[in-house]
Structure 1
Amino acid sequence: MDFFFEDLPSTSQSTPKKGHEESQMREDTTMDSSRGMSSVVSMTDSQEQYSSVCCSSSIEDISRRAQEMVEKINHSRTSDQKVMDSFEEKLLDKVREMCQQMKGHMYTVYEENSDEMQVKLQELSEVLESCTKLNSELLEATRALTHLREGLAISQKEP
């Protein structure tokens, strides 16, 4: 925050010193004796008006500067909000991009796993087919042995 007090009118310029004020009043009363007390009152009124105008001007200046500072702060806040919105959007874009990359990688892994599983399933299918064949051959052999045994049992009973 920048404060610019150096541009404000100094208080020494807006109010005369007491010694100067009294000498000015004395001069006015002695120079125009015909006016008498009215010139002293008139001088005091003009000094009060001058002091009031200077104070009012200073207050207005300070008020204007304060308003400018508030406007600068609000502008900075708006700018900050735009920066944050932009950052959020870029971050969301990066997150989306990373998610897409991860999905792509995941699908690649799925494909590789699917290919490997297909090969393994093919091998399993071949093994199961062999097992089925062997089982059929074993059943045939069992029947043959059963017939052989029955044949041997019949031949032993015949003598």
Structure 2
Amino acid sequence: MDFYFDDLPSTSQSTPKKAQDDTQMSEDAEFNSSKDRSSNMSMCEVPEQSSSLGIEDISRRAQETVEDINHSRTNDQKVMDDFQEKLAEKVTETCRQMKEHMYTVYEENSDEMQVKLQELSKVLESCSKLNRELLEAAQALAFLREGLAMSQRSES
């Protein structure tokens, strides 16, 4: 939240106006009153002027403090923006490294799977060959049984 006193009338601007009114009133009072009384009025004006200067000083210091706070907030925003940018860069770099590692693992796994698929293919080929040989053996046994059965019938 930024505070700006530029738009607000400062007390240093309104106080001199009051001091002018007081001076005008004191001049009228001097004209109508005695010398002693006018000297007392002059003494009263001195604290008003010093309080006016004190108020101006406080107002100036308050304005400087607000400007310092706003400058600090601007710097804080720059720091946060830089942090966010560096964090985004770091996250992007980390994601890139993770992808590279992931692809390396994929490649290693693919190589291992290729070797295992080749072994599986050889095993399945052997199984198919053995299945054919088993079918041929079963067929040969069936012919042999038929041949034996015919020879037993002919002998009987």
Q: TM-score range by the shorter chain?
A: 0.7 to 0.9
Runs of 4+ residues deviating >4 angstroms: none
Shift of 1:48: 1.6
Q: In the alignment, does 2:57 pair up with 1:61?
A: yes
Percent identity between matched residues is 67
TM-score normalized by structure 2?
0.76
Instruction: Give the distance between the partners of 1:141 and 1:111, measured in 2 at CA.
Output: 44
Looking at structure 2, the residues matched to 154 and 44 of structure 1 have their Cα atoms a distance apart, in angstroms, of: 158
The equivalent of 1:101 in structure 2 is 97
Structure-2 separation of matches of 1:52 and 1:79: 40
Pick from 88, 92, 104 the counterpart of residue 88 of structure 2: 92
RMSD after superposition: 1.0
Does 1 or 2 have the higher relative contact order (CA < 8 Å, sep 6+)? Answer: 2
Gap regions ≥5 residues in structure 2: 1-32
Residues 63-95 of structure 1: per-residue CA shift (max 9 Å, x gap): 100110111011011101110111111011111
- Count of residue pairs the alignment pairs up: 123
**Structure 1 stretches of 5 or more lacking a match?**
1-36
CA distance in 2, matches of 1:40, 1:154: 165
- For the pair 1:38 / 2:47, whether they are aligned, the reply is no
Match of 2:68 among 62, 66, 72: 72
- TM-score by structure 1 length? 0.75
Equivalent AA in structure 1 for residue 95 of structure 2: C
Amino acid at match of 1:59: I
CA–CA distance in 2 between the matches of 1:108 and 1:148? 59
